[in-house]
C-alpha cells in the first residue's frame, strides 16, 4: 500500500470499529488462501459468524453451506486464470470491432489460419 492508502485505512479504523473488525477478518481470510492450509478455517468461520456484522455473518453462512468447496479452493492449486484471460481477450477483441462482429469475422480474428484456408477456390 502507498502511504496515502495507509493513512486512509488508519483513518477508517479510527472512525469505525466495524471497519477494523471487517478488515481483520478479510485479511485473515485472504491469508487462509495464501497459506493453503485448512487449520484456521473453522476458527475464521466462527469468528466471522459471531462478529456482529451482518454482511460478514451472511458471507460466513454462505461459506458454511458449501464448506467442502471452500476447503478445495484453499488446498487445490487449480486456477481459472487462463480461462478468464481468454474470455477477457475475446471480449476486448469483440468490443474493438464495435458490434460489427459476425461469427465469421470473429472466427477469422480469433483462430489461426489453417493450411486449407490459404488456397480456397
Question: pLDDT by residue (tens digit) across 88-116?
Answer: 888 877 777 666 656 777 677 667 665 55
Supply the pTM of this predicted model.
0.59
pLDDT single digits (tens) 57-92: 999 999 999 988 888 888 887 777 788 888 888 887
Q: Which long-range contacts (CB under 8 A, 24 or more apart) does 3-6 make?
A: none
Distance in angstroms (rounded) separating the CA atoms of residues 45 and 41 = 6
Output the DSSP codes for 88-105: HHHHHHHHHTTT---HHH
* Mean pLDDT computed over 46-50: 91
- Beta-carbon neighbour count of residue 98 at 10 Å? 7
**In whole angstroms, how far apart are CA 93 and each of 106, 107, 109?**
8, 11, 8
Query: pLDDT confidence of 24, banded at 50, 70, 90?
Result: very high
Amino acid at each position: 500500500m502507498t502511504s496515502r492508502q495507509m493513512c486512509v485505512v488508519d483513518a477508517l479504523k479510527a472512525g469505525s470499529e466495524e471497519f477494523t473488525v471487517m478488515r481483520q477478518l478479510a485479511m485473515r481470510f485472504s491469508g487462509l488462501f495464501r497459506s493453503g492450509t485448512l487449520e484456521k478455517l473453522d476458527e475464521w468461520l466462527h469468528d466471522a459468524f459471531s462478529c456482529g456484522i451482518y454482511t460478514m455473518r451472511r458471507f460466513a453462512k454462505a461459506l458454511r453451506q458449501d464448506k467442502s468447496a471452500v476447503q478445495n479452493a484453499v488446498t487445490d492449486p487449480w486456477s481459472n486464470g487462463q480461462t478468464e484471460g481468454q474470455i477477457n481477450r475475446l471480449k476486448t477483441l469483440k468490443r474493438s470491432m464495435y458490434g460489427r462482429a459476425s461469427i465469421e469475422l470473429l472466427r477469422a480474428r480469433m483462430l489461426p489460419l489453417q493450411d486449407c484456408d490459404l488456397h480456397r477456390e
